[in-house]
Amino acid sequence: MIMFLKPIFIDKVWGGNKLKKLFNYNTSNNCGEVWGISAHKNGESTILNGYFKGYKLSQLFNKHRELFGNYKGEEFPILVKIINAKKDLSIQVHPNDNQAKKYDSLGKTECWYIIDSEKDTEIIIGHHAKTKEEYVNLINEGNYTKLLNKFKIQNGDYFYIDSGTIHAICSNTILLEVQQSSDITFRVFDYKRLDFNNKLRTLHIKESVECVNIPDNVVRRQHNNEFFSYELVDVFEERVCKAHQHGDYIVILEGIGKINDMECKAGDFIMISSQYAYHLYGNLIIQKTWF
Ligand code: ZN
């Protein structure tokens, strides 16, 4: 079964309007995140076509687990989004599964694929502190230049952001994020910026100290991990596929074409049910996630 999913547009103080042009989305001028494949309570995908039209993804997951290959976990495990950073995101860290239990959530390991960035755009992944004491001192001093590992990125780069990795997406970056289904972010620093209500956004320095990796791991420029896998597929004319055991979750990044007899285009999010055979036609670049 092939199900198109309706994305959710989320405004952020650091968002912008670039996704209107790139994916023809009807967003505001502050759109920061597009949640494309999500069964998370803070923003859920809705099925747009076929027998289950109108279902929320969590409903489908709870009532028709056979479409997900009878996946055993209690909740739909992944969330796929497009992030549009016109300005810098906060410097942040996410908890792992164990640390997130007290918030009744999964942890948040995430992977990034850089869709579009401007020349000399940077990113922050990891820190240089050797001990917890050094980490806390550098934060108290506000010495983020010394603390953080900042470097230049290019379109097409992949990064693996294990939970416990301090990170920040910087201005002028559009990326695809595949993550565990979680919405817990501990902000360490937010550039003293005001939110849409003219209030400072809350920081969570104590929580960040509890879950940040010290000393840090080296930056991993790849994407497969214990929670999910994904690949980028270049479709030229035709490609025959069969969905993985728990389904395939597709984002079309470029082009127009067809999936079986249905038209598809850049910006579409599609779920293919467990082991379903499908054909892709046209010239497309797609990203396919499975778990
Ligand atoms: Zn993050």
Q: Which residues contact residue 203 at a Cβ distance below 8 angstroms, ignoring those fewer than 6 apart?
A: 187, 188, 189, 190
Long-range contacts of 21-30 (CB under 8 A, 24+ apart): 22/115, 22/116, 22/174, 22/266, 22/267, 23/82, 23/266, 23/267, 24/265, 24/266, 24/267, 25/267
The pLDDT tens digits of the residues spanning 152-194 come to 999 999 999 999 999 999 999 999 999 999 999 999 999 989 8
97 assigned to some structural domain:
yes
Q: Which of 65, 187, 220, 239 is catalytic?
A: 187
Q: Which residues of the chain have pLDDT under 70?
A: none
Q: Which structural domain, as residue segments, surrounds residue 86?
A: 2-211
CA 86 to centroid of ligand 1, rounded, Å: 16
Report strand pairing: 78-85 vs 31-37: antiparallel
What is the separation of C-alpha 54 from the centre of its chain, rounded to a whole number of angstroms? 24
CA dihedral 128, 177, 195, 136 (to 10 degrees): -20
The pLDDT tens digits of the residues spanning 86-95 come to 999 999 999 9
37 assigned to some structural domain:
yes
The answer to whether residues 9 and 98 belong to one domain is: yes
101 assigned to some structural domain:
yes
The answer to whether residues 173 and 282 belong to one domain is: no
Report strand pairing: 173-180 vs 78-85: antiparallel
Query: Number of folded domains in the chain?
Result: 2
CA 40 to centroid of ligand 1, rounded, Å: 16
What is the separation of C-alpha 291 from the centre of its chain, rounded to a whole number of angstroms? 15
Backbone dihedral angles phi then psi of residue 36, each to the nearest 5 degrees: -95, -40
pLDDT for 223 equals 78
Structure-token pair, residue 240: 């025959």
CA 275 to centroid of ligand 1, rounded, Å: 31
CA 103 to centroid of ligand 1, rounded, Å: 17
CATH number at residue 253: 2.60.120.10
CA 94 to centroid of ligand 1, rounded, Å: 7
The answer to whether residues 183 and 247 belong to one domain is: no
193 counts as catalytic: no
